Amino acid sequence: MTILVTGGAGYIGSHICVELLQHGYEVVVVDNLSNSSFESIKRVKAITGKDMKFYQIDILEQEKLDLVFSENTIEGVIHLAGLKVVGESVQNPLQYYKNNLIGTLVLCEVMDKYNVKKMVFSSSATVYGIPKKVPISEDFSLGATNPYGRTKLMVEEVLRDYYISNHNWSIVILRYFNPIGAHPSGKIGEDPSGIPNNLMPYVTQVAVGKLKELTVFGNDYPTVDGTGVRDYIHIVDLAKGHMKALEKTMTSKGIEVYNLGTGIGYSVLEIIAAFEKVSGRKIPYKFAERRAGDIAICYANPLKAKIDLGWIAKRGIEEMCADSWNWQSKNMNGYS
Ligand code: NAD
Ligand code: UD1
């Protein structure tokens, strides 16, 4: 069975490709490499000892995407291609709406033409906006605080409307919490361009000496130690969640949404402590003002995915930190 992975060269996509190949699927990747490198594709092949097809294509290019579907018998799509930097989306909203929203519309049109009706879509916990309480369940009210988040919300709505118009579709929307870690081989991992925006890549780059010190955004939140609390999830657990979601699209029609998180929240200081313990490296840090748009506490209620998909996150915080460190220390400059 052949699965198309859009954005398959990226951080999450490359780990999903490993799982797909190890589960015996044939894999076709479409990626424009705007935020990734072909090296990740090579490494996925090295980890699995299996081949997969790669097309360097922008999903906005309908004719080229059409060609991918005509050349391969695609049975389902895992749709990850998208831009994901919150600050950038505030600076350049049109780019985000075009890429994330129009890109998805183009993909759906081509899927429909080739009668491919199974999709797993990468959404984000960001669609919960400022949650009223934790843990966050799928039925909480939704809202976005920035253009990136709004593209995710809009795509969710588009997919819901699309299903209403055609009940033969089978769609699973996955709302990721905070993916960190790397494949235990240390061959693939997160490789942000420029200075990282997210906590873990910043920490690992401080640990290898590429950055001087971490800035902790806010120490006056109503949390255990005043720093922000998040639900960090190991990237391999997240990738495994996609296998379960894909199986769900194979066995039933409809549209469902699931949180992919651990259900446990850790503060920034707890992350630093766990990382220092497993890496043996000191992470110098200083406190600064809260980052605009940040919330105090965010963690998932992951029960729906457990009940419906039979999926739970198994890897703990130390394993997440150890695998992030393993990747960064073996690949000082990421894939380059
Ligand atoms: P990533 O940037 O590493 O991967 C995204 C991939 O999509 C990249 O390889 C990029 O080159 C590709 N891409 C972007 N626009 C494209 C286009 N128009 N055509 C073809 N390829 C395109 O990011 P990631 O962390 O792997 O995230 C994957 C998906 O998961 C994204 O949609 C992101 O919004 C979503 N997500 C990520 C997180 C996270 O913390 N990493 C959290 C929630 C949701
Ligand atoms: C951020 C995005 C979110 C996106 C997710 C994954 C914002 C406001 N939110 O989530 O929409 O889905 O990344 O891409 O950008 N922190 C520091 N110092 C740093 C970096 C982070 O103290 O240098 C803190 C943050 O304040 C937060 C925690 O670490 O409390 C996690 O931050 P981060 O990794 O950026 O994830 P989110 O903010 O949860």
**In whole angstroms, what is the distance from residue 112 CA to residue 151 CA?**
21
How far is 133 from 136, CA to CA, in rounded Å? Answer: 7
Q: What does the pLDDT read at residue 316? A: 98
Q: Which ligand is nearest to the CA of 289?
A: 2
Is 148 among the catalytic positions? yes
Longest dimension (CA), the chain: 55
Query: How far is Cα 120 from Cα 100, in angstroms, rounded to an integer?
Result: 15
Tokens matching residue 310: 């039979």
pTM (two decimals): 0.98
Structure tokens at 257: 């949404």
**CA-closest residue to ligand 1 atom 21:** 31
pLDDT digits (tens, 9 = 90+) for 206-231: 999 999 999 999 999 999 999 999 99
pLDDT at 132: 93
User: Atom 9 in ligand 1: which residue has the minimum CA distance?
Assistant: 10
DSSP-derived secondary structure letter, 72: S
Task: Quote the pLDDT of residue 53.
Answer: 98
What pLDDT is recorded for position 201? 98
Residue 124 has what pLDDT?
Answer: 98
Q: How far apart are CA 28 and CA 74, in angstroms?
A: 8
Alpha carbon nearest to ligand 2 atom 31, residue? 199
Question: Residues with beta carbon inside 6 Å of ligand 2?
Answer: 84, 86, 124, 126, 149, 178, 197-199, 202, 214-217, 228, 230, 268, 291, 293-294
Q: Is 31 in the pocket of ligand 1 (CB under 6 A)?
A: yes
Predicted local confidence at residue 14, as pLDDT: 99
The Cα 312–Cα 236 span in angstroms is: 11
Q: Of 55, 64, 80, which is best to mutate to test ligand 1, by the most ligand atoms within 8 angstroms of its C-beta?
A: 80
Q: What is the pLDDT of residues 240-291, one digit of tens each?
A: 999 999 999 999 999 999 999 999 999 999 999 999 999 999 999 999 999 9
DSSP one-letter string for 318-333:
HHHHHHHHHHHHH-TT
Q: What is the pLDDT of residues 45-79, one digit of tens each?
A: 999 999 999 999 999 999 999 999 999 999 999 99
Determine the average pLDDT of the residues in 15-42. 98
Cβ of residue 96 lying under 6 Å from some atom of ligand 1: no
11-15, 91-95, 180-184, 192-196: lowest mean pLDDT where? 192-196
Tell me the two tokens of residue 185: 């081989």
Cβ of 326 less than 6 Å from ligand 1 = no
Distance CA 280, CA 301 (A): 32
Mean per-residue pLDDT over the chain, rounded: 98
The pLDDT score that the predictor gives to residue 133 is 96
Catalytic residue among 25, 148, 202, 232: 148
Residue 194 Rama label (left phi>0; alpha psi -120 to 50; beta): left
211 C-beta closer than 6 A to ligand 1: no
